[in-house]
Amino acid sequence: MVAIAAQFTAEAYPQVHRNPAFKVPGPEDVKYFRSFLDADEVLEAPQGDDEALVSFNQDWMNKYRGQSNLVLLPKSTEKVSKIMKYCNEQKLAVVPQGGNTDLVGASVPVFDEIILSLKQMNKIRDFDPVSGAFKCDAGVVMKDAHQFLRDNDHIFPLDLPSRNACQVGGVVSTNAGGLNLLRYGSLHGNVLGLEVVLPNGEIISNIDALRKDNTGYDLKQLFIGAEGTIGVITGVSILAAAKPKAFNNVFIGLESFDVVQTLFVKAKKELSEILSAFEFMDRGSIKCTIEYLKDMPFLLKNQHNFYVLIETSGSNQAHDSEKLTTFIQNALDEKLISEAKVSDNIDEYNTIWTWRKSVPPACNSYGGMYKYDMSLKLKDLYSVSEAVTKRLDAAGLIGDAPKPIVASVGYGHVGDGNIHLNIAVREFTKEIEGLLEPFVYEYIQSKKGSISAEHGVGFHKHGHLHYCRSEIEIRFMKEIKKHYDPNFILNPYKYV
Amino acid sequence: MVAIAAQFTAEAYPQVHRNPAFKVPGPEDVKYFRSFLDADEVLEAPQGDDEALVSFNQDWMNKYRGQSNLVLLPKSTEKVSKIMKYCNEQKLAVVPQGGNTDLVGASVPVFDEIILSLKQMNKIRDFDPVSGAFKCDAGVVMKDAHQFLRDNDHIFPLDLPSRNACQVGGVVSTNAGGLNLLRYGSLHGNVLGLEVVLPNGEIISNIDALRKDNTGYDLKQLFIGAEGTIGVITGVSILAAAKPKAFNNVFIGLESFDVVQTLFVKAKKELSEILSAFEFMDRGSIKCTIEYLKDMPFLLKNQHNFYVLIETSGSNQAHDSEKLTTFIQNALDEKLISEAKVSDNIDEYNTIWTWRKSVPPACNSYGGMYKYDMSLKLKDLYSVSEAVTKRLDAAGLIGDAPKPIVASVGYGHVGDGNIHLNIAVREFTKEIEGLLEPFVYEYIQSKKGSISAEHGVGFHKHGHLHYCRSEIEIRFMKEIKKHYDPNFILNPYKYV
């Protein structure tokens, strides 16, 4: 991978100005924090050293880069509370940060905001195997939550390609969707309770909530997907499902997006309760991934216009295999699909998933990428990718070096009407950006879609909400922000 | 059924006072409403006639009775908006009302509040068979939504014993749980979008939202379960699931609540993805139901201490039957359960459900009932019923007439940790009420449960939230109420 050192966000976007109401963090602030934090809970950049805190300042796509000199990594909710109380009183701006795998610049500072990392709050708190309620600190890495629950015959109701780095609190803060939303539903349904530190340091918690609680407004919901703009999530209680005994998947090659849709309706009908993922990738996505996974033989004999990954999970291997192989055989017989590779064992199952999960890093491996995440009616879903590719190609920007764009590809979660558009680039240029925006947003608006299906708003889509939200909705959002965070210190320059 | 005419709430609870800030609705208000509403959209009680509007003023349990002389039944969102704008300007208090099957006195007035019935907004707006998005007016009766979706090979993701009367908007307003929450999850996950008229008449809508939309705070969530205190839901978009091809159920007799729990864990493991309901009833529940359904032969040979109804739904009848019969046979062999009746056909399937769904009307058939709806950890779930029955029995109140209490019974949704406690009575007395409250709430508080799992707060539990919510949570709720409804005209004397 060719690493691009991102330009400072403040320089790349000179129209964004630091809010002069915020205090510049100084030695007296660090001194105060050190008065109750351990040595390993405070990280300071040596003066003049831009690189020391780069992993906290720069985002995963190498697109945004803040200039914070101070990272706090508290190990308890009480410490988070003390930090926030002080920052609120002193008007110090704060960016909460989980695994920093965010894709819209939400988890890194823009200027000199203090970075509040949750990574040292990483304890699993409790698990009830009868109800399935799983409680943990916000900073537990998703793969560890998965491992713990698997060891206890359960499953974390969400999975993401970034599972090795992303954290449970960050996932909830950004209302991540992921690979199994089709089966287990959204976090708004699965999160049982949250523990949140408010901007003024108060702790509001219903983390001990039971499966059902209908006593008043469901306050926790506002924090799900709020991207740390109205509170810092420090603890999460979530409903884990019983671990399926049988997992099966299949990788399919087919020739048009119309067939992808037909196949999806057929799968909903015939696989129904065992259908747990229905993902699609276009030709370009897999072409990049073949280059990226160079030593790994491709799954199918031929390349195709579209690929679909279907996963089933259930309680009876024989029943599930029968349902899936019947489904695939019928689709082959009906000539709906061209080729299919059904997994025969756990290794093959994992290998099939590797091809889907490697699409984002593959696209990012040429230097960086522009990334859009949209939801649309299924009939319109792929059209946005075609329109964008056509536009970039007409400008002569796609091709071998020195052209800046390697490929413009589309893939995503058919089951959720969610497409990811990745423009894999050798460099970020204003020309590409000018061709992409506002074109992409206006296209989505014209089709009544959403400009962010699951990645959120962050810095990237700040100020773009009007493409899919009404004036009154935006006004209510701004009022919520003001009500919870009257000094606007939490995650500024982003979101509403 | 012996109908009790409820005492006026204002007389039964003299400590609750009419808010003098509210205008008394008068002829000039009716004149204004008639200026834009059709004749059948305005119902007035003739002067001195307490009975004319009793079906709107009195609740389903015959426990609460308001004294409103005016019911408005607008047929469009725009009319709801005009009504609310006027009421807000004039400080006229308003109670939104759906099917009026509410169980906590939330849907009837306390004094002279204007009743805003949604029953004439009853159109299905749209259905997308690919995504499963179903859009309708708030006043669509749940059984009609079920019928429409079944005709379109889909299923409404929620079912209730009151399905013949309750309305989709009311179900969302009260965040109803119901019989299939275990399978399809809560409304916070299934509702895609809402159209809401705010107290000042503004319309806020995201009813066209897609499956995933991560652009800002999820505003619709606050209205789910708000019981019409911050806005009037006029339209709902909800995710319908593909209709399972196979439905099976079984009615089981067994001897202890410990076994109920063991059986539940076993069912989650072995029936897993096809498990769609796990309901329990105690001996007393079924005794009342046998009396109520007098001409219908009981399902089992003997009576037992506990009964469980398990439902499975899936895509393959042969697979599902095999899973269920294996499960039951093992449970019988292990002597976990005493007796079981598995349905063999659709009539038997419906009959089995009739026994569960008849429990609430059976308990209500002696005149009225006190009803509590609580969630607790599964191990504590039935203990509250035992404690209450013991307390009432010790006071000598349970038995044949003239004793006031027919029976004190418990039943509910094991899968959700949710018990319903019904005290079937011949009359409501202050003595019974004094024995029940605050005892029930204090018991729940001591076990860290919720005093309302799914029925909500309403008038009944107004002022009792501190038994399961913190001071800061209640403060935030009050602030939300004040922010959305600064004149407090929507559904007053209730909720927070």
Which of B416, B418, B451 is closest, CB to CB, to A215? B451
pLDDT in tens, B12-66: 999 999 999 999 999 999 999 999 999 999 999 998 888 899 999 999 888 899 9
What average pLDDT does range A442-462 have in this prediction?
94
Shortest Cα distance from B436 to chain A (angstroms)?
Answer: 19
- Structural element, H or E, at residue B223: helix B220-223
- Structural element, H or E, at residue B233: strand B232-239
Which pair of structure tokens corresponds to residue A335?
């000539």
CA-angle at B77, arms to B76 and B78, nearest 5°: 90
Q: Any idea of the CA torsion for A209, A210, A212, A215, to the nearest 10 degrees? A: -40
Contact A65, A7 (CB under 8 A): yes
Smallest CA–CA distance from A484 into chain B, residue: B476
Smallest CA–CA distance from A452 into chain B, residue: B214
Model confidence at B2: pLDDT above 70 = no
* Nearest alpha-carbon partner for A360 in A349, A350, A352, A371: A371
Q: How many residues does chain B have?
A: 496
Model confidence at B476: pLDDT above 90 = yes
pLDDT in tens, A6-51: 899 999 999 999 999 999 999 999 999 999 999 999 999 998 888 8
pLDDT in tens, B355-403: 999 999 999 999 889 999 999 998 899 999 999 999 999 999 999 999 9
Shortest Cα distance from B181 to chain A (angstroms)?
Answer: 10
What average pLDDT does range A238-252 have in this prediction?
95
Model confidence at B3: pLDDT above 70 = no
Query: Would you state the pLDDT for residue A5?
Result: 72
Shortest Cα distance from A39 to chain B (angstroms)?
Answer: 33
| Model ipTM value | 0.93
Give the C-alpha separation, A400 to A394, whole Å: 15
What average pLDDT does range B247-275 have in this prediction?
95
Smallest CA–CA distance from B185 into chain A, residue: A189
Contacts of A204 in chain B (CB under 8 A): 470, 472-473, 476
Q: Which residue has the higher pLDDT, A10 or A211?
A: A10
Contacts of B261 in chain A (CB under 8 A): 130
> Are B204 and A476 in contact (CB < 8 Å)?
yes
pLDDT in tens, A66-75: 999 999 999 9
Enumerate domains of chain A plus CATH numbers. 124-242 (3.30.465.10), 246-359 (3.30.70.2190), 366-454 (3.30.70.2740)
> Are B418 and A212 in contact (CB < 8 Å)?
yes
Shortest Cα distance from A472 to chain B (angstroms)?
Answer: 7
Interior/surface letters B77-89, b for 16+ CB within 10 angstroms, e for the rest: bebbbbbbbebbe
Contacts of B130 in chain A (CB under 8 A): 261, 264-265, 378-379
Shortest Cα distance from A314 to chain B (angstroms)?
Answer: 6
Which of B174, B219, B495 is closest, CB to CB, to A473? B219
Model confidence at B1: pLDDT above 50 = no
> Are A206 and B273 in contact (CB < 8 Å)?
no
Determine the residue among B212, B220, B419, B450 to mutate to test chain A binding: the one whose Cβ has the most chain A Cβ atoms within 10 Å: B212
pLDDT cut 90: percent of chain A above it: 89
Contacts of B496 in chain A (CB under 8 A): 216-217
Work out the burial of residue A293: count CB atoms within 10 Å of its CB; fewer than 13 is exposed, 13-18 middle, 19 or more buried. Answer: middle
Per DSSP, B310 falls in state E
